[in-house]
Amino acid sequence: MKNKKESKKEDKIFDYQTICNINTSKEDRKKLHIGDIWSNQIKCKLCGDTIRSMNLHHYVVCKCGSVAADGGSWYAKRIGYLDNIEEQSVLFKNR
């Protein structure tokens, strides 16, 4: 029962990086519904955890709960204690 629940949760998270790369053109990304952010990633200065929002609805919190990221390829939403965030986001080459 527990295993079923866990795998279900994993299935829900779709990582758009699996269907494109940093050089994918804006035209191709439009067809795939992917925005301008290649890697929506931050590091928490408090616990050292590196987290990445893997799609538009993927809200991810660091280990200590101090900071969070959301928005996937579309917008870099940051939640929590912003002073604890080390920004590591990378944009697509073609914008």
Instruction: State the residues that interact with Zn ion by CB under 5 A.
Output: 44, 46-47, 49, 62, 64, 66
Which long-range CB contacts under 8 A does 58-61 form with residues at least 24 apart?
58/13
Q: Nearer Cβ to Zn ion, position 36 or 43?
A: 43
Residue 32, classified by CB atoms within 10 Å of its CB into exposed (0-12), middle (13-18) or buried (19+), is exposed
Q: Nearer Cβ to Zn ion, position 46 or 79?
A: 46
The least distance separating Zn ion from the CB of residue 67, rounded to whole angstroms, comes to: 6
Q: Nearer Cβ to Zn ion, position 55 or 66?
A: 66
Q: Which residue is nearest to Zn ion (CB)?
A: 44
**Lookup: tokens for 25:** 């053109």
Which helix (H) or strand (E) element contains residue 39? strand 37-39
The least distance separating Zn ion from the CB of residue 84, rounded to whole angstroms, comes to: 7
